[in-house]
Structure formats: structure tokens, C-alpha cells
Amino acid sequence: MTMDWKSYDPNGFFDELVCRDGSIRPPARQLIHYLESLPPEEIESRRQMAEATIQEMGVSFTVYTEEGNIDRAWPFDIVPRTISAKQWRTTAAGLEQRLKALNLFINDLYHEQQVLKDGIIPAEIITESRNFRPECIGITPPLGVWAHICGTDLVRDGDGEFYVLEDNLRVPSGVSYMLENRAITKRVLPELFEKDDILPIDGYCASLFDMLASLSPRDVRKPVIVVLTPGIFNSAYFEHAFLAQQMGIELVEGSDLMVGDDDCVYMKTISGPERVDVIYRRIDDLFLDPSVFNKDSVLGVPGLMRAWQKGKVALANAPGAGVADDKVVYAYVPEIIRYYLNEEPIIKNVETFLCDDPEHRAYVLENLDKLVVKPANESGGYGMLVGPHSTKKEQAQFAKLIQDNPRNYIAQPTLALSTAPTLVDNGSLEPRHLDLRPFILQGRDTYVTTGGLTRVAMKKGSLVVNSSQGGGSKDTWIVDGGEE
Amino acid sequence: MLSKVAERLYWAARYLERVENTARLVSVYDKLLFDLPREVDISWYSLVELNSASDLFSERYRIRDEHNVVKFILADDTNPSSMLSALRMLRENIRTSRDVLPVESWEQINELYLYAQNNIRLGINRSKRYEFLDQVVSRCQMLFGMLSGTMSHDAPWQFVKLGRDLERSDMTTRILDAGAAALIAANGDASVNLRQVVWGNVLRSASAYMSYRRSVRMSVTGPDVACYLLEDAHFPRSVEACLTQLEISAGKLPQGHHVVELIREINPSVYPITTEADLGPAFRSFLNDLQIQLCQLSNRISQTWFPA
């Protein structure tokens, strides 16, 4: 494929692979040279190979629609996104720093609440948060850690710097797709893995297992660890089964577990009840235990909160951890880092306007056509307004929503999300916007994935990368040597 | 091993065996009815009776003809034992046990399901029925073969075997019952020739014709066929051989003795068979008792390994 990189036009956005003058960034050089050496038919045949591989491996995700749930093949772009190892080391340090501070913060909120007393964050933000769980007050989970698995969304702005867009501390998903993307790329572009120094990513499942094992309340050599899934109809079921299979542990549903009179959790096996030490739960807080939260929930396990409160079982993430991924709390994270760690944040936040603040609110209402408005507690890209792409009617709708419930909304400037060359229908490479979700683990040690899941908006000009809304994904390469 | 996973594998295997046997049964009936003299009144409807589904059938259909019976047995989704219903249940059970099964099994079952679903008309109409059913049977066997050849033969595999052998022994009693019922329907004046046709087809529907000839070394007679399918120690679809396999599998599982002791109580040779006259209503009622015992065995399996 011959590409005239001078005519490749990221339209003023920062491109991950190509500089403004059309030269190729060092980490991407081998990749681009290689792609240029392939005739167009060959590129098309690699693309088809990727598609077939995805079908064969059964990589799918579920989309909820009015006609029912649809299992869709995972949308994938064969051109990897590259980042230099040097830059990644700094970013990874920033991610660890952030999660450490957030865990200290959550632990403080459920104990002394010193951070509120010291006026770092207004107390009502916490007391009014839908994700603050009074049931967790006074509890110290193993190692004092609440959020063991965190998926942090990073974006690169026009200046080429990484910013944190949001922290996902409840049940972040996507890591299986990160691993599958690499498996697909190895089959589709195997030649590149011989030449390029692409750092491996497959340590994740082993690290996840070790982290979970480090939480075991029993000091046994082989603690019993399970993945708790809401079941086959959940959009991330594929990932739940994938992780259980990779770690060699049981995939359970609520009905497979029970809490005994001794407050321990047991799973129902063919040899009778077997005690469970650690539960990697992929169910939201409110469905965990029908005797405490949502009474109608059939997904959870009655008595599970009691078992956790008594320290008989570890839950990852701990209930109540979501209090720190509220988008209003997000605005305060830089302060939280300074307060608990006495360090400057390594990765910056995106500028955020809190609609609860009268001045901010007035600014937001005046600039709805320029801002992105998000509800404080939603995920998956649902219920948000992308100002520049919205109609007057939608803006008026959001103005009313904000005025009715200002605490529940924040706004951010429309980011100039970075782009990367993406194979489009006519067989050429065009810039498409993307973000990056690395996964961070904290138990006895901390661990950051090498890169993460790159999600890409497949539609020209679109900024929405969620797979539920037409986004796709790319393999993410952290390339050693060839620094910028 | 999780009880729920064990339960799903057990049922997946039962449904898989049921799909195969249903396809066999319809296929054999097809041939049997070609071979019968016109004046003999054996109808397709016996297939419904044989599956203990008369009530359900009469809720759906008025006319007991070939088209309705075959549709009911193969395709009807209101009939929980129809071939397509069993396939659907099989697919659902495998879909949720993917983490313990070989990756390819999911692809295989998908292909089987799509094939049967898309070509079910071929099964209902007569001209291509044989080819269609033959495909279904061989795809089922491929799936079992793949599981047997690639799964570790630890607990999950033992549950697959339990399901397969229980369903298989139950089906063998029903196939025998079909033969007995057909001859009773002929009102006692069945010729030697008719008897041979019926019992020959009974053997064929259990894929037992060749091995019967080799091991019995006699012409096909009712008493010999009945004894062979009930008591032969080596033919894998005989009730006795299935019970032996069930006992081996149960014995390898924790608390298996609860199940083994019940298996030992089932005796397929307790009913004396010497002449054709022994294959009348008393024989049918003995087969019915055997089916009840197998049903109790299935309950015992549930209670032991997957209590609610």
C-alpha cells in the first residue's frame, strides 16, 4: 500500500502515529514501513483474516436492543496504535499514583472522613452520592484496599498529553478484549512481532490471580477464588467466562453460592459445600445481597454483605468503592492526590464544570453547544450530550435535566481526541478518534497493563468510542526503543 | 466442580442423545412402514404413544397422520421432547458450560443447530427425510466423539457419560416397546414374516442389526432381540451395558455410592422371555417399570450432585 502521509490529514488533531509534517513517529516506523510494503489485496486479505479469527474465537459482545439482546462480533481495526515505552512508563506511574490515592480516600470516607473535615471536598458531595454505602462505614477490607481493579479512561488532547477522562472503580470491563486484540494481531501481522520490540501484555491474568489471592482471609496455600457473573444475558458475559477460564477458576452465579451460619461463603459443588475465600464480582453493589440492597435481585447472594463485613470473604472490588468514581468526585481527584500522597498528580484531569456550583452551572447552560455534559453516575456512554453534535431540542432537554438535578451533572470541554490511521471501507487509511483504557490492579502490589484497550470511533469525525454505540477497537503496542 | 455445571453437562448429554435417538426412531419408522403389508394397521401415531406424549399431541392436532406426527416429533416447539426442542436445550446448556468444554464443541453444536433449524422441512416431507435424519445422527456422533477424544476424563466427562447412558437406556426400552406395541396392534395374527420385519427394524433403530447377527448367530426373533437389547453385556446401547457404564461413571464421583446402590437394584433380565407369547402386554408393563426405575435413577443423580 502506498500512502502519501503528507495528504493524511488528522485535521489539526494530534495523531498517534503520524506527525503534523507527515513524518512517522518513531514507535510506529516499523509498522508503517511494513504496511506500505503490502499490496492493497494483501491488506484486504489480512483484514478478512482478522474477521474470520474473531468469528472462530467467538469474541463477541452483547448489545441490548428493544428487540432483545444481540450477540455481535467484536469490531476490530487491524492497524495497531503505538505508544513509546518511555512515555508509557510515566503514564503507568501516574495511574498507580492515582489508584493509591483513591484507595486511601475511600478508606478515609468509610472511617474518620478526615478529608471532609479538612474541607478538601464539600461533605454533601459524598453524603448525596448515590454510590456512598452507609453499610460500609467502619469496615476495613483486606490490606485497606477497596478498589482492586480499576479501568481508567485516558484521552490525548490536541497538545499530545494524556488526560484522565474517568475512573471506573465498580466493575470495569474490557480487559479480555485487550488480550484478544493482541491474539488476533499476532495471527494477522505475525511478521512485525519478529522485528519490532513490542512489549508483551499477557501477564495480566496471572497478576489478577495473584492480586485476588493476596486478599484471601484464610492463610492457605491455595485460596478458593471465583468470578461471580450476573449470567449469560449480561453484556460482558464473554469476558467473565474468559477470565475464569484463563485463571482456571470457577465461574459462578449468585445461585451457586450461599452463606452459612458461620458467616462463611460456600459454593455448591458435587462434593457438597466448599468454602470460597475471594469473589471477583462482576455484579453491581446493589445486586450483591438481596437481604441488604435490592430486595428483588435474584443475581446476588443473601448474607453476602454480612460475610464480607465479618471479614470471612473478600470482595473485589469492595462494596462502596464506587463512591470514588462519581464524576463529581472526579473533579477533586487532583486535590485528593495532593492531600493523601503529598505529590503532584502525574496525569492531569480534563477540565470539569460541576453543575452544582452556581457559577459553573451558569457557564454550562450558556455553552451547551460547546460542552460535553455527562450524568454523574452513568457508564457506557449512556445519557450524555455531546454539545457540538447535538440539536437545539436536545440542548433544551439537557438544560432542564441540569436545572432539575444539578448535582447529577458535570460538563467538560469537547476534547480534541487524538486520532490514528484506521482502515476504512474503501481500503485506505484515514484518521479516526480514539481513547485508551488501561487496567490497574492493587492488592499487596500494584500492576498496570502494558498499554490497555484502545477504543476507536469507526465513524468519520465521531468522538463516541463505546462498543455499544458503534465503536471498535485496536491492538495497543507499547514499543521499546525508538523514543520520540 | 460446581453442581450447576455438572447439571448442565448431564442434561446437555441427555439432550444430545435424545436428538440422535429421535432422529433414528423416525428414520426407522419410515422404513418399517414401507415394508409392512397393506392390511397391517400400524400407524405413525405409535411414535407419539411411545414417547408418552398422547395428551400433548391431542391438544395440538386432531388428525393422527404421518405429517402431523412427524412434525410433532421433529419440529414442534410446544413439544418439549421434539428434536428441535431438545436441540435448543442442548445448545443452551452448552452455551453456559463453555468454560469447561473444548472450544470446538460450541462451534459444532452451533452448526448442528443451524443445520437442523434451516432444513427441518426436509425432515417433515418424505423425499429427503432419510438424508436429513442421517446428517443429524452423524453430527451428534461427531460431537460425542469430539468430547470423548478431547475432554479430560475427570468429573465433567463422567457427568456427560451419565447423561448419555441414562438417556440411551431409556430410549432402548422405548424402541423395544415400539416393536411390542406394533405386533400387539396386529391383533395376534402377525405372520412370521411380519414379526421379522418388525423386530429387524427394532434392531436397526438401535443400530444393533449387525452386532446382533454376529453375536446371536440366529435369525431375528422377538425373544432373542428383546434379550439382546436388554441383557447383552457388550452392545453399547443395551440396557445392561448402559447400566454398567452408569455404575462405572457414578463410582468415580464423590458420594457415588448413593447412586451406585440404586443402579444395582435395576435388573433388566428379571422378566423371563422365552417365546413370542412373553412379549405381550406383560412385557410392555415390565418395560414401563424399567422406565420408572430409570426416572428414579435420574432423580437420585440430581439429589446427590445437584440438589436445588
In this structure, what C-alpha cell is assigned to residue A75?
A: 469490531
Chains A, B: CB pairs < 8 Å: 43
Same domain, B70 and B205: no
Maximum CA extent, chain A: 71
B188 or A38, which is more confident? A38
Mean pLDDT over A45-53 rounds to 89
Same domain, B220 and B169: yes
Ramachandran bin of A292, using left for φ above 0, alpha for ψ from -120 to 50, beta for the remaining angles: alpha
Q: What is the pLDDT of residue A280?
A: 98
Among all residues of chain A, which has the CA nearest to that of B6?
Answer: A270
Interchain contact, A244 vs B254, CB within 8 Å: no
Q: What is the pLDDT of residue A65?
A: 60
Same domain, B1 and B145: yes
Q: Tell me: pLDDT of A156 over 90.
A: yes
- Return mean pLDDT, chain A: 90
Which residues of chain A have a CB within 8 Å of the CB of B254? 270-272
- CA distances to B10, B151, B254 from B155, in Å: 11, 10, 9
Cβ of residue B4 closer than 8 Å to a chain A Cβ: yes
Mean pLDDT over B75-85 rounds to 91
**Cβ–Cβ under 8 Å, residues A453 and A476:** yes
Query: What's the number of domains chain B is made of?
Result: 2
**Which residues of B, range 229-258, sit inside 8 Å of A by Cβ?**
253-255
In the listed set B97, B121, B151, which residue is the last one of a domain according to the structure?
B151
Same domain, B198 and B138: no
Q: What is the pLDDT of residue B45?
A: 86
Residue B256 to chain A, least CA–CA distance (Å): 10
Same domain, B141 and B169: no
Mean pLDDT over A11-30 rounds to 90
Which of A292-301, A322-331, B92-101, B294-303 holds the top average pLDDT? B294-303
Taking the C-alpha atoms of residue A35 and residue A191, their distance in angstroms, rounded to an integer, is 11
Among all residues of chain B, which has the CA nearest to that of A55?
Answer: B107
Same domain, B203 and B260: yes
Chain A contact residues (CB < 8 Å to B): 56, 58, 232, 241, 244-245, 250-253, 255-256, 267-272
Q: Tell me: pLDDT of A64 over 70.
A: no
Q: Tell me: pLDDT of B23 over 80.
A: yes
Which residues of chain B have a CB within 8 Å of the CB of A270? 1-3, 6, 155, 253-254, 305-306
Same domain, B297 and B268: yes
Same domain, B49 and B127: yes
Q: Please state whether the predicted TM-score (pTM) of the whole model is above 0.80.
A: yes
Residue B3 to chain A, least CA–CA distance (Å): 4
Interchain contact, A253 vs B4, CB within 8 Å: yes
Which of these, A472, A432, A381, lies nearest to A372 by C-alpha position? A381
**Cβ–Cβ under 8 Å, residues B173 and B287:** yes
Same domain, B198 and B242: yes
Q: Which helix (H) or strand (E) holds A272?
A: strand A272-276
Whether ipTM tops 0.95, in short, is: no
Mean pLDDT over B18-36 rounds to 84
In this structure, what C-alpha cell is assigned to residue A425?
A: 471501507
Same domain, B186 and B291: yes
**Residue carrying C-alpha cell 495528504:** A7
In our burial notation (b when 16+ CB lie closer than 10 A, e otherwise), range A55-65 reads: eebbbbbbeee
Taking the C-alpha atoms of residue B1 and residue A446, their distance in angstroms, rounded to an integer, is 31
The pLDDT-based confidence of A427 (bands split at 50, 70, 90) is: confident
Same domain, B174 and B74: no
Mean pLDDT over A125-145 rounds to 91
Same domain, B172 and B246: yes
Maximum CA extent, chain B: 57
Q: Tell me: pLDDT of B283 over 90.
A: yes
* Domain membership of residue B269 as a residue range: 152-307
In the listed set B104, B128, B151, which residue is the last one of a domain according to the structure?
B151
Taking the C-alpha atoms of residue A234 and residue A224, their distance in angstroms, rounded to an integer, is 24
Mean pLDDT over B239-262 rounds to 97
